[in-house]
Structure 1
């Protein structure tokens, strides 16, 4: 009988709430010190954790059936590609409506939509696109058993992403700044499958492949504690500077996300509705930006803006209701779309 990882499902659901918190600006209700620790600290661990979890399941399957790697990768890509296409089109449509209401020139709208489709999808779907791109990059290395090589390469790629984000201050007034500025102007963000997804996905795969090794669990708790303390100081450091992009990328994430995952794999927690929480974490991720966009459009039309607390809880409640209803549908396609 395969082991159930209920603690991972619970953590994914909690981090999904964090993602909704980021996009509804819920941390703004807290004092500034807590905004830093919660909004820019804890909430920002969500996406790295999602990446390493995805990699973990790929690594576990690869460990059990290495000869089936092609099928494992194909299923993973297909599983992500369908919701990416569907929800990206919905988010694009809503973005067009928002921009038209703001009387943005149509040529500008078309240009922005095209750039986001290619490089940074609306609706927080960059993570989904990044996962697909990352696994395509990782696949040939995994096929040849070269996990360490792609891991090292991905760390250098992530270093570039850091310079395009929280560590932009390190290259200000240098030739590298010109390169980064040019890149960001063309590609919108370094938060994509090449510079971010590859690194965290391969970390998760590494954990999954070595899940049965006792060495994997040595010193994980003290290492996580030390990494968390260093994360606190990293937050204080980068908070003194203006980031490029959204200020979401940290060095500490490289350690905290996989270490937290490793610890959770040893948890004996059993939840009656763990599968439901797992499904919700996926469905709510796909839905929340759509709901926020719809509420934004209604707020623009009615000239009434919801308080962030109300927005946060309304989006969560509506997401849960829509997901729960979709799970009861007899149509297999719609039943599976939000899980």
Structure 2
């Protein structure tokens, strides 16, 4: 298949919005911070959908051969191990490091759950195809999406506070399945007008804000807590379809999305940790600089990845899990 430069461009944008979720904004108004976080929630579902989209091209005659995903699974395992080791000093310094059995799948640093989730998504989807029960995928996907919506926020309606961690970890399955559908029906979805897709994105943003506002008003559930709402998925799907329809030549931004978005995701916590130390020595009168933490962190991490790749390519490849020094895989969000 031809390179989807639009997807690469959106990967770069999505990696920036991931940083928006993880950074501190100093003394910036809490309402603004909460709104920024809500606006950024589409990024992770976008990466899951992207992975499923490329996986869809590997499913032929209703069959998914494990050989077709073996490199992906191997690379994800390498990424999980190496990025955990590289990010380990952050947790040691903070004194909140805990190592347990769950770290085998979620990594040693909090944001690495995404890599473990991708790994499970690949294996579970392959397993259903292997045992000829892939027809269950739509029902399993709907069940997981409902569980995620309920455990993240809508449990508050019933006065409950259910842990979202398991449902979040399983989200790779339905979101990758959505990507598979989009790949198999690409011609159909490409016929949707850009105006309609943009309208759906705007509607998703509005629905997401309405959900958060109503849950706060009637159940006193803080907007800061939301990770996955109905509006979130409504934003992510049309945005992804839009990215596949962008017919652009390869340029510096698409190259950065292709080469560096995975690295930015994996190692932006290191940049944020260094920034936190620096900000401790910054006068209070300059605290407004922290309002721009996502832009600063994104720029620094991207710059570091470009320099590392140029002057120390072997180290760069290893940090991306490319231990065997093989070509990076298009099915991963990099």
Category of TM-score, reference length = shorter chain: 0.7 to 0.9
1:205 and 2:180 matched:
yes
CA deviation after TM superposition for structure 1 residue 319, in Å: 0.9
**In 2, Cα distance between the equivalents of 1:6 and 1:171?**
45
Aligned residues: 310
Corresponding position: 1:320 with 2:319: no
1:287 to 259, 264, 267: 267
C-alpha contact (below 8 Å) 1:120/1:189 kept by paired residues? no
Instruction: Measure the CA separation in 1 of the matches of 2:197 and 2:279.
Output: 46
Alignment match, 2:93: 97
Matching of residues 164-183 of structure 1 within 5 Å? 164-172=151-159, 177=160, 181=162
Query: For the structure 1 residues 113 and 207, does the alpha-carbon distance in structure 2 shift closer, same or farther, using more than 3 Å as the test?
Result: same
Equivalent residue number for residue 102 of structure 1:
none
| C-alpha RMSD of the superposition | 3.2
Provide the residue aligned with 2:141 in structure 1.
154
Write the distance in 2 (CA, Å) between the matches of 1:239 and 1:127.
27
Whose RCO is larger (CA < 8 A, sep 6+)? 2
Residue 234 of structure 1 pairs with residue 208 of structure 2: yes
Shift of the alpha carbon at 1:46? 0.4
Deviation at 1:37, TM superposition (A): 4.7
Distance 1:24 1:56, change over 3 A: same
> Deviation string for 1:208-230 (max 9, x for gaps)?
2333xx33334464366246315
Aligned equivalents of 1:50, 1:238: Cα separation in 2: 23
Partner residue of 1:75 out of 71, 75, 80: 71
| Whole-angstrom CA distance in 1 between matches of 2:200 and 2:279 | 44
**Alignment correspondent of 2:6:** 7
Q: Which segment is superposed worse, 269-278 or 137-146?
A: 137-146
Task: Report if aligned partners of 1:123, 1:290 keep a CA contact under 8 Å in 2.
Answer: no
Contact 2:201–2:238 at 8 Å: present in 1 too?
no
Q: Could you tell me how far apart the structure 2 residues matched to 1:299 and 1:118 are?
A: 33
Determine the C-alpha separation between the residues in 2 that align with 1:298 and 1:276.
27
> 5 Å matches for 1:299-310?
307-309=289-291
Task: Report the TM-score when normalising by structure 1.
Answer: 0.78
* Post-superposition CA distance 1:41-68 (Å, at most 9, x none): 2x111000011011111112334x9767
**Mean Cα displacement is larger for which, 83-92 or 13-22?**
83-92
**Cα–Cα, structure 1 residues 219 and 298, in superposed 2: closer, same or farther, change >3 Å?**
closer
Instruction: Provide the residue aligned with 1:62 in structure 2.
Output: 59
